[in-house]
């Protein structure tokens, strides 16, 4: 390197030289080179913890006594007509495995079995819905049944 900092030709002596390549170390991959410049996470798992805390869950709705009676009646009617494999829409609560609360899911399809011993509804597609988590059952089979007053 020649000249001072103000000299525009101070690097002229090295401009045309070939790029040095090591004979003992293979060149680093693009991914590894890029990883050098990624932000450093001082607290491992902190981002995942924040995301988990921010994830929203629903609170389980407790049914009133008249709603429980109506649901029980619908499940009995479903059991009585199980041979017809009725088409229903079941709304049920799925507890969250990591935190308090959960989410509500809807299963629509034909019912294969109402298993009172295992306390579950088995759908024709193989899904098993815990009876204790069911909050609503709808379908043509239940047309004409009175809904509880809100």
- Token look-up 């991914």 returns 31
How far apart CA 56 and CA 58 sit, in angstroms, is 7
pLDDT tens for residues 139-148? Answer: 998 887 765 5
pLDDT tens for residues 100-123? Answer: 888 889 999 999 999 989 999 999
Give 132's contacts (C-beta < 8 A, 6+ positions apart).
119
149 — pLDDT class (breaks 50, 70, 90): very low
| Domains in the chain with CATH codes | 65-142 (2.30.30)
């Amino acid at each position: 390197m020649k000249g001072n900092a103000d000299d525009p030709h101070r690097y002229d002596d090295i401009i045309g030289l070939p790029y040095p390549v090591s004979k003992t170390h293979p060149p680093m991959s693009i991914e590894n080179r890029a990883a050098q410049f990624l932000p450093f996470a001082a607290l491992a798992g902190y981002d995942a913890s924040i995301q988990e805390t921010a994830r929203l869950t629903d609170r389980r709705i407790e049914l009133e006594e008249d709603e429980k009676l109506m649901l029980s009646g619908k499940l009995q009617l479903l059991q009585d007509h199980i041979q017809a494999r009725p088409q229903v829409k079941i709304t049920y609560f799925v507890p969250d495995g990591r935190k308090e609360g959960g989410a509500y899911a809807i299963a629509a399809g034909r019912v294969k079995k109402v298993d009172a011993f295992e306390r579950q509804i088995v759908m024709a597609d193989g899904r098993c819905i815990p009876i204790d988590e069911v909050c609503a059952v709808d379908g043509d089979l239940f047309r004409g049944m009175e809904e509880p007053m809100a």
